[in-house]
Amino acid sequence: MKKRRLWGKIKQTCFMGIRREYIMLIAPSMLSSDFARLGSEVEKITEGGADFIHLDVMDGAFVPNLTFGAPVIKAMRPYTRVPFDVHLMIEHPLKYIPDFIDAGADVISFHLESADDPAETVGAILAGGAKPALAIKPGTPAKAVFPYLDKLFLVLVMTVEPGFGGQSFMPGMMEKVRALKDRRPAVLVEVDGGINPETVVQCADAGVDICVAGTSVFRAENPAAAIAALQAAKR
C-alpha cells in the first residue's frame, strides 16, 4: 500500500481544483540536480519547502535527450513524501503508465503531441490512482487541450522547447495560461522552463498555479531561500 503523500499547501489552497487563496506552488525539477546524489538532492529540496518534485522522463525520440525512467524514480521515492510530479516526454506514454504509478508517481503528465490516444492515456492514469495531466509544447495552442479539461488535474504549459534545462522563458506562452483559465477556472495550470524570480512574476500575473524551477533552485547558494522567493510571487 502506498504511503500517504504530504500534499501541504496544495490541499490548503485547493479544493476540488479551485484555488481558495493564491500561493505559488513550486516544483523543483530533478533534471537540474546532481544525478550522482539523487537521494540527498530530493531530501534537500524537501527540507527547502518544495510543494512537488518534478521528474522529467525523456526517451531520446520524442525529445532529443535521455534522462531516467521508472526504476530511478522508484529509487528516489523513499527519500520524501512530497508528491512526485512526473512529466513524460516520450513517444508512447500509455504502455508505461503502470510502471510510473508503481514507482510512486502522484501526478503524471504526458504530451498531447505524443503518439497515444489522450483520452485512453488519461483513463489509464485515473485507473491507476494517479492524477492526470496533459502537457503542450510551445507550438501547440491551448484550445487543443479543451476537450480533455474536465478529466485533468492540471495542464502543463511548456515555456521552453522540451528536452533540455537552462533555456530562456517564452513570455508569449502566458496567453495560453489565460485561455485555459478562461475556459475552465478550476483546472490547475503548471508552467515549465526558464522560471526565475523575474519570470515567476509574469506567471503569477497570468494565473499560473505551479511553476517548475530547475537551475534557479538547484544552482542557488540557498535552495530553500530560492524556493521561498518563488513561492512569494503575487498576482
Find out whether 210 and 188 touch, Cβ atoms under 8 Å: yes
Choose among 98, 115, 110: nearest CA to 57.
Answer: 110
> Residue 46 and residue 39: Cα distance in Å, rounded?
11
For residues 101 and 99, give the distance between their C-alpha atoms in angstroms, rounded to a whole number.
6
CA distance 100 to 103: 5
Strands across the sheet with 25-28, in order? Answer: 25-28, 210-213, 188-192, 154-158, 131-136, 107-111, 84-89, 53-58
Is residue 206 packed enough to be buried (19+ CB in 10 Å), middle (13-18) or exposed (0-12)?
A: buried
CA-CA-CA-CA torsion sign (85, 65, 217, 233): negative
Give the residue numbers annotated as catalytic, written as ranges.
56, 192
